[in-house]
Amino acid sequence: MSKHTIIHPGLILTLALMPLWPLCSSAETTPNILVLMADDLGWNDVGYHGSEILTPEIDKLAAKSLKLEQFYVFPWCTATRAAFESGINPIRFGLRSLEHNFDGAALPDRLDTIASFLGQRGYYTALLGKWHLSMDFAGGPLDKGYREAFGYLHGQIDHETHEDHHGVASLFRDTRLIEAEGHMTDLIFQELQRLVDSAEPPFFVNVTFSAPHYPLQAPERYVAANAHVEHPDRRLYAAMVTHMDDVIGKILTLLEHRGLLQNTIVVFLSDNGGHPQRAKSSGYYGGDGRDGPYEVMADNRPLRGGKTEVYEGGIRVPAFIHYPTKLKAGTYAGFLSVLDLLPTLLDFAGGESPPGRDGRSIRRQLIDGNVDRATEFYWITSSEKIPHGGGNQAAVRIGDWKLVESQRRFFWLPWRIEWPWPKYELFDLRTDPNELADLYDEKPEQALALRKKLDRFLSEEFGQY
C-alpha cells in the first residue's frame, strides 16, 4: 500500500466489526415461533376461503403468507395436539380420538416434544390456551418442555367462568389452578402481551384458542358485526370466530410494534375440521342450554364431512405460514401435515429433525416451492364411547389416492352398536377433492393396493414410545 493511500473511516469501522458479523447474523436470523391454533374452525369459516364470517385480520395475514391448501390434521383435537407436540402419528401410542387414559397423560412420559427441542436450543417456551393432553399437572405443559403455561386443562370450557362442561375448575397457571375474570380469548391476548414484554427472544409460543368451540359465547359487538349472517346459531358461531380474529390482529400489531414480526414464524391452523351442528344438548353445563342444541355452527364446504370424520372436511383445515424473511406469499400446492410442523420448525430454528418421528422437514420445499408428490399418510379414529363420534374409521392417502374404511352407525341402531361390516370408498383427490365420486368398484387394483397398505399399518405393533 502506498504511503499516500487514504483509508476511508467507514472502512476502518467495517473492518473492526467484521469479527462480530457472524454473531450478529446468527442472533438476528434465529426466528421466534408463534403458533395460532383455532379449535373446531371449519374450512369455509375464514374470509380468504370465501366465508361470510368476518375475519379481516386472518385474511390480511394470509395474503402475506404461504397458504397451505392441503394441510392435514386428525379428526379429533387431542390427537392433533399430540401430533403437533410429538411429530408422531398418535395411533403409535394408542391415541385414536378423545379416548385415552386421562388418569395419566396422552403423551408418553419420556417423549420429547417440540417445546423440549426448542428449549434445548435456547428458546423461551410458553403454552397459552387449551392443553387437553392431561387432566392434571403430571404430564402437563411444564413436564413437556414449556417454561410457562396459562390456559385450561379440559377439552372445552365455559369461556367466561372457565369451568369445564361438568362444572370442574380448569383454568391454570403453570402447575396450579387459578381464577381470573374475562373471556378466555381476551385472557390469552393479555398473557401473550405480558410474555412478549418480558421474555427474551427467541421465543416459541403455542397459542391454542378456545374459540370457536362451543359453548358459543361472544361479546355482543362481534355478534353485531356479523348481523348479515342469517341463522342465529351460525351468527353466534361467527361472532366467536371474529372475536378470535380481532385478538389475532392485536397479537400481530403487538409484535410489529416491538419490531419482532419480521423475524417471527407465524403458523395458523385449526385442530380439526369444524363441527357443523350440535343437534341436541347432552346436559353439559348444568343442562342450562349453553352447549346447544345448535342447528348450524361450522361450515366445511365444499369439503365432505366434518369433525370426528376422516373425510376431507374433518382432517383438511385452513392453514398458512408467515415468515417474510424466508417465504414468499402465495400458495403451496403440496401435502403437509401437522406431523411435519415439528421437524420443519426445528429446521428453521437451526436444529435437526429427531429420529423416530413420522413427520419430515419441508423447509426447503416451502422456500423453493417444490412439491413432493410421494405422500403416505394414515388416519385411525375410534369413538365407541362417544355418542356423536361417528364410529370406527380409518383412511390412507398415497399420492392423490385416498381410501376410507368406515363402520358407520345408523340412526335406527343404539349408539353403542356399530354396523359389523366395514365400508370402503376410494377417491382421487387430484380430480375430486370434495370426495363426491367413489371409485372403489371402478379401480379395483388401486383399491386393493391401498387396502393392503392400510391393513399393514393397522397390523403394526404400536405403543413403542
Q: Give the predicted TM-score (pTM) of the model.
A: 0.90
Question: In the chain, what are the domains?
Answer: 29-368 (3.40.720.10), 376-458 (3.30.1120.10)
- In this prediction, residue 24 carries a pLDDT of 36
Cell numbers standing for residue 351: 436444529
Confidence at residue 16, expressed as pLDDT on a 0 to 100 scale? 41
For residue 456, give every residue at least 6 positions away whose Cβ sits within 8 Å of its Cβ, in sequence order, or none: none
- Where residue 419 falls (left for φ over 0; alpha for ψ -120 to 50; beta otherwise) is beta
Q: Which position has the grid cell 377433492? A: 433
Write down the pLDDT at residue 135: 86
Of the candidates 93, 77, 95, 8, the one whose C-alpha atom is nearest the C-alpha of residue 37 is 77
Inter-residue contact 99 to 67 (CB < 8 Å) = no
- 113: cell is 416434544
- Nine-digit cell string for 17: 466489526
CA atoms within 13 A on the CB side of 360: 11
| Alpha helix segments (H runs only) across 360-415 | 363-368
In order, the DSSP letters of 419-456 are -SS-EEEEEETTT-TT-----TTT-HHHHHHHHHHHHH
Question: Chunked in runs of 10, what are the mean pLDDT values of the chain (465 residues)?
Answer: 42 38 47 98 98 98 97 93 94 70 75 96 97 90 96 94 92 96 98 93 97 96 97 97 98 96 97 90 82 93 93 97 96 94 96 90 91 85 57 89 77 53 90 97 96 89 59
